[in-house]
Structure 1
Amino acid sequence: MFFPDSWVRLGRWLIIGSALLALAACSAVRVAYDNGPSLAGLWLDRWLDLDRQQEAALEPALQRWFEWHRASELPVYAERMGRWRERAAGEVDADAVCALVDETRAWSRRALDAALPAASELLPAITDAQWAHLQARQAERLAKLRAERLQPDPAERRAAALERALKQAEDLYGRLDARQRALLADSVARSPVDAARWLDERERQQAELVEALKRAQALAASERREALAALVASTFEATDPRQGWRRAWYRDGCEAWARLHNSTSPAQRERLRQRLLSYEQDLSALAAAAAN
């Protein structure tokens, strides 16, 4: 199932984009975003074990990206939060939820596209040891996800999936009643994609990503930029026939979220509205700082 915390992290497995996009949607958004270049640099260092020369080259690139993002993108996010807040009081259908997700995907793509010039310049400096470090971190993360999501007992696996979904839903709506919990449990049980399929696909995509970046690294500057742009496009356009399962999963998540939202009480929807208002205010304040 798709829930909002997943939407804001779409595209995260792309090396440059993942850290940058996540910062704009954390709970302490103003503090995190104001420290975005430093936090993004630390995140990249954990995954790539950067040397001092790479850190020095990365710092101004991240600063430029955040300046662009603050001035150009945050006003759009704030305006949309206001519109979503207005709609949260009523009912929604799956098409409306999918439209919302598509919009956040478009934001993610613009953010990644804006990072391409810096990524293209910095990519040639990544060493074989750093690629190995990245792959080791990916393997470590996958092992953790398998432990969390791939319990040997199917009943335990479903229970863990339901617990994650419940936590996400109650973070937005407050405590769900028994009927809503049953609705959520049914949505989890009928999901067209199981954890094993999702994890296997994640592992395959990560391996393909590293190989694609290594190939791009060896290209001339203009060709490297084109290769990275194509990599971003392939992430969002999903033309690979192997991705049919993901489209089914995506649609199922939209339908599940619409069912849950339409089951909520006025008080629960008001809680969601207040959460969106908080995001709107944070984003507006951050965007206003660009003019100072």
Structure 2
Amino acid sequence: MNTSAEPHRSPWLIDPKIIARRILLALALATTLIVLGACSTARLAYNQAPNLLYWWLDGYMDFTSAQSPQARQDIDAFLAWHRSNELPTYARQLQQWQALATQDITPTQACTQFEAVRAAVQRASERGLEPLTRLAQQLSPEQQAHLQRHQAKSNESFEKDFVRGSPEQRLSQRLDKAVSRNEMLYGRLSPAQRELLQSSLQQSPWDAQKTQQERLRRQSDLLQTLQTVQALKNGNGNGNGNGAVNAAALNATRSYLARVLQSPTPGYSAYSQTQVQHGCTQFAALHNTTTPEQRTNAVRVLKGYEDDLQALVAQR
């Protein structure tokens, strides 16, 4: 929802890949593919989604040769559901955004669109729970160690991007990213619009240290959940290669997802909601300064995404 470099993005420029990483390595990553660059790139990327998703998950899990066939089967099933059930919804959402792009909007309207995107991610993550639980049952100690190394690498990248350097350097980096994302939608921003973004970023409630602590909590929670799922597999006789997922293991994964969506850390949910509200206000303020030409460009970009989704739906 936020137009800054923080976790909550503008509803029109939201990066679902970041959200997907919050959801048990969710197959919800597929939602990334509706906003990958140029329209033709988005269509090509979605058609390559089985391989993209497989290699993305493999980067975290380091699949064995025995695990790969089931992983690919689960990915194919998820994407078949996603194409039939979710892409038409996204296309309708893009039609609404095209109408909104031609007029001034309020922070409440912006937040409504953000919540629609968040709901789509939740639907996709729920759909991925069973295959992800099945995968978790099969992970070896070596694969769990591989996951921990991947987490450490991710933490290093976060530190580099958002924690290190002077406040001025961090603000400049965030501003550059915010400008770049908004120019994907509107075209070139004016000096006054850049100043508006900078001022909003300076007033943002986002706290890199607090966000990093929550990331670490989720990573630890994920590892503990994997241990729980492994214990439930061993205690119930599942995970013997037949693809079975027992209810207790599935509930453990679902509970983890719930803790990702609403942190148990005292005060964090309120902090997160404050970020969302700030992002809604920021996006509406910037949008309401756009020129007729910038709004025309936004409609053209959004229409391109809609056309791509309609074409993808027709291919099923």
TM range (shorter): over 0.9
What is aligned with 1:3?
9
Residues 229-252 of structure 1: CA distance to partner in whole angstroms, max 9, x if unpaired? 222233334565332211111111
State the shift of 1:151 in Å. 2.8
d(CA) in 2 for partners of 1:130, 1:242: 34
Output the amino acid matched with 2:16: V
- Of 279-288 and 233-242, more deviation after overlay is shown by 233-242
Asked if structure 2 preserves the Cα contact closer than 8 Å seen for 1:3 and 1:165, the reply is: no
Question: Aligned pair 1:146/2:156, yes or no?
Answer: no
- Equivalent residue for 1:273? 299
1:261 aligned partner, one-letter code: H
> What residue identity is the alignment partner of 1:257?
F
- Could you tell me which residue of structure 1 aligns to residue 281 of structure 2? 255
- TM-score when normalising by structure 1: 0.94
Per the TM alignment, residue 218 of structure 1 is displaced from its structure 2 partner at its CA by 2.1
Q: Which amino acid aligns with 1:229?
A: R
From the superposition, tell whether residues 23 and 213 of structure 1 become closer, same or farther in structure 2 (CA, over 3 Å). farther
Any conservation in 1 of the 2:28–2:128 contact (CA below 8 Å)? no
Q: Contact 2:94 / 2:306 at 8 angstroms: preserved in 1?
A: yes
Deviations along 1:152-192, one digit per CA (max 9) or x if unpaired, are 31111111111111111111111111111110000100001
1:226 equivalent in structure 2: 251
Identity %: 30
Greater fraction helix: 1
TM-superposed CA distance for 1:146, in Å, is: 1.1
Q: Deviations over 1:11-45 (max 9, x none)?
A: 42321335333233322211111111111011111
Q: SS of the counterpart of 2:21? A: coil
Whole-angstrom CA distance in 2 between matches of 1:64 and 1:168? 32
Backbone CA RMSD of aligned residues: 1.7
Partner of residue 34 from structure 2, selected from 5, 24, 37: 24
User: Which position in structure 2 is the counterpart of 1:111?
Assistant: 124
CA distance in structure 2 between the aligned counterparts of 1:265 and 1:199, rounded to whole angstroms: 37
Task: Determine whether 1:87 maps to 2:100.
Answer: yes
Specify the code of the residue in structure 1 equivalent to 2:205: P
Aligned residue identity for 2:306: E
Which residue is equivalent to 2:241? none
| Aligned residue identity for 2:64 | D
Tell me by how many angstroms 1:7 deviates. Answer: 4.7
Quick check: 2:28–2:121 contact (8 Å CA) kept in 1?
A: no
**Which residue number in structure 2 is paired with residue 57 of structure 1?**
70
Kindly indicate whether residue 198 of structure 2 is the aligned counterpart of residue 185 of structure 1. yes
* Per-residue Cα deviation, 1:94-152 (whole angstroms, up to 9, x for no partner): 11111111100110011111111212222211111111111111111211221122233
What's the counterpart of residue 25 of structure 2? 15
TM-score, normalised via structure 2 length: 0.87
Residues in 2 aligned to 1:200 and 1:18: alpha-carbon distance in whole angstroms: 24
Counterpart-to-counterpart distance in 1, 2:210 and 2:263: 17
Residues 11 and 18 in structure 1, CA contact (< 8 A), matched pair in contact too:
yes
Aligned twin of 2:266: 241
The change in CA–CA distance for 1:24 and 1:227 in structure 2 (over 3 A counts) is: farther
User: Unpaired segments of 5 or more residues in structure 2?
Assistant: 3-7, 237-245
Q: Unaligned stretches of 5+ in structure 1?
A: none
Partner secondary structure for residue 53 of structure 1:
coil
Q: What is the identity, as a one-letter code, of the residue corresponding to 1:241? A: P
Counterparts of 2:227 and 2:181, CA distance in 1: 36
Structure 1 residues 90-169: aligned runs within 5 Å: 90-169=103-182
Partners of 1:17 and 1:200 lie apart in 2 by 24
- Structure 2 letter corresponding to 1:12: R
Q: Is the 8 A contact 1:150 1:157 kept in 2?
A: yes
> CA separation in 2, counterparts of 1:218 and 1:286?
41
What is the distance in 2 between the residues matched to 1:234 and 1:105?
Answer: 15
Does the aligned pair in 2 maintain the 1:19–1:43 contact within 8 Å? Answer: no
Tell me which amino acid in the other structure corresponds to 1:131: Q
Q: Which moved more, 1:83-92 or 1:117-126?
A: 117-126
